Structure 1
Amino acid sequence: MLQTFILIDEFPLARHIPSSSSSSFMLESSKLVQESAPEAMLKDMGFRVYTVRESKELSMTMSKAKADALLLAVPPGQVEPWRTQALAQRSLPVFWWCDSQTFPSSECKLDPGIDGLIGPSMSPLEVHCALLLGVNHYFQRTEWLQEREQLLSKLEERKWIDQAKRILSEIKHISEAEAYDFLRKQAMNERKRMVDVATSIVKVYQLLQAEHKGGRKR
């Protein structure tokens, strides 16, 4: 389960926590001066929190903190820039802190790259449920992205192999089935992947075609 958060907070420290919040979240004024509402709430629930307020601090914080999740207390327009910068270093579940400062309208909308929302009026149980659902969403989203990347990679490999088959069929005057067998045997002989052999054939063919056209122009 989550233990450590990196909190990205662009707002002043002294946020007001509504009186409707759980009494466990109510802080003394001296503590409120030192900690923002999202920082105080997470710490009050037993989480370790590393707070970042400027972009230049993020890389150093992520390198030293073994964080389990990212919490963004930023306006909607800053969600994607911060998320992109953070996830470029390490993949983490991403949550958004939604209050009157981060989203001043009456409804918080969930960005596609955000795994969950938490806010100052939520009880500890509601926060834990939101975090649990968010982590599950993160794993599902990550799995889907990996499957998507694998599919795109296979489609790209198929493109090179199909191009190589057409080239071999044209040059050797053989069928595409025979060209496929040629690629397969060549890959076995060279101890390479078929797509690597196909890519080499296509690139050499394109290079020769370009040189031939350049020669004719001269």
Structure 2
Amino acid sequence: MTGKMSIIVVEADRDRGMQIAEGLQQAGEFDVQVISELTHLAQEIAARQPDIVLIDIANPSRDTLEELALASGPMDRPVAMFVDRSEAGLSDAAIEAGVSAYVVDGLHPARVKPVLDAAIARFRMFQRMRVELAETKRALEERKLIDRAKGMIMKARGVEEEEAYAILRKAAMDQGKRVADVASALVTAAGLLS
């Protein structure tokens, strides 16, 4: 998020939303847009592709909070939510819905920038964790495929595990493919033949 950061302010009261936008523009170099109509929030946010979404809501219910959070695309960008008061469990629900920052006691201009910075940092940390988790899952699935393919080669050729892997690796090098791709093709072909 380099250059001028784009922020969407979600505020049902258009005048209050404009005040928040003015406060943000005074706090830094931001391109701020206000959305006060909540009926098509997800489409509006998707069309504008902001760097961050700031939601200001007086007294959220669990359903409203989750709906706003999910519509804001918390997996795509940081979402900071400012509420005037919060009932038990609402902050947990917001975090579970993907909100990066959940601030009770309303939106105060002096703390908007630090909260946005914290929301961005937290979002980036979770993004890295999601990427690492996805890579780990992919590697585990590939390892399972390779092990199945090695077992098939061991059974078909009567060789040990090391030799079965060497056969897989050689086939991958000969075809200019990854070992996991050759293993997947072998497992798929064996499934079709059985």
TM-score, L = length of structure 2: 0.78
Q: Shift of residue 60 of structure 1?
A: 4.5
Report the counterpart of residue 109 of structure 1 in structure 2: 91
Alignment of 1:37-48 (within 5 A): 37-46=16-25, 47=30, 48=32
Report the counterpart of residue 4 of structure 1 in structure 2: 6
Q: Is residue 2:73 matched to residue 1:123? A: no
Report the counterpart of residue 29 of structure 1 in structure 2: none
What amino acid is the match of 1:77? D
Deviates more, 1:191-200 or 1:126-135: 126-135
For the pair shown, the structure with the greater C-alpha radius of gyration is: 1
Query: Is the contact between residue 98 and residue 108 of structure 1 (CA under 8 Å) also seen in structure 2?
Result: no
Q: Deviation per CA, 1:131-172, whole angstroms, max 9, x where unpaired? A: 111111111111111111111111111111011011111111
> What SS class does the counterpart of residue 81 from structure 2 fall into?
strand
Gaps of 5+ in 2: none
Query: Is the contact between residue 78 and residue 120 of structure 2 (CA under 8 Å) also seen in structure 1?
Result: yes
Report the counterpart of residue 62 of structure 2 in structure 1: 76
CA distance in 2, matches of 1:3, 1:199: 43
What amino acid is the match of 1:166? G
Q: Which runs of 4+ in 1 moved over 6 A?
A: none
1:155 to 140, 143, 156: 140
TM-score, L = length of structure 1: 0.70
Aligned-residue CA RMSD in angstroms?
2.8
CA distance in 1, matches of 2:179, 2:152: 15
CA distance in 2, matches of 1:45, 1:195: 50
Report the counterpart of residue 129 of structure 2 in structure 1: 144
Q: Shift of residue 106 of structure 1?
A: 7.0
CA distance in 1, matches of 2:120, 2:141: 31
Report the counterpart of residue 16 of structure 1 in structure 2: none
CA distance in 2, matches of 1:80, 1:191: 47
> What SS class does the counterpart of residue 95 from structure 1 fall into?
strand
Deviates more, 1:161-170 or 1:124-133: 124-133
Q: Shift of residue 5 of structure 1?
A: 1.9
Q: Shift of residue 85 of structure 1?
A: 4.5
Q: Deviation per CA, 1:166-210, whole angstroms, max 9, x where unpaired? A: 11111111111111111100000011111110001111111211x
Report the counterpart of residue 62 of structure 1 in structure 2: 46
- Where relative contact order (Cα < 8 A, 6+ residues apart) is larger, the structure is 1
Q: Shift of residue 77 of structure 1?
A: 2.1
Q: Shift of residue 128 of structure 1?
A: 1.7
> What SS class does the counterpart of residue 159 from structure 2 fall into?
coil
Q: Shift of residue 116 of structure 1?
A: 0.6
Query: Is the contact between residue 164 and residue 202 of structure 1 (CA under 8 Å) also seen in structure 2?
Result: yes
CA pair 85-117 structure 1, distance change in 2 beyond 3 A: closer
Report the counterpart of residue 24 of structure 1 in structure 2: none
Percent identity between the two aligned chains: 22
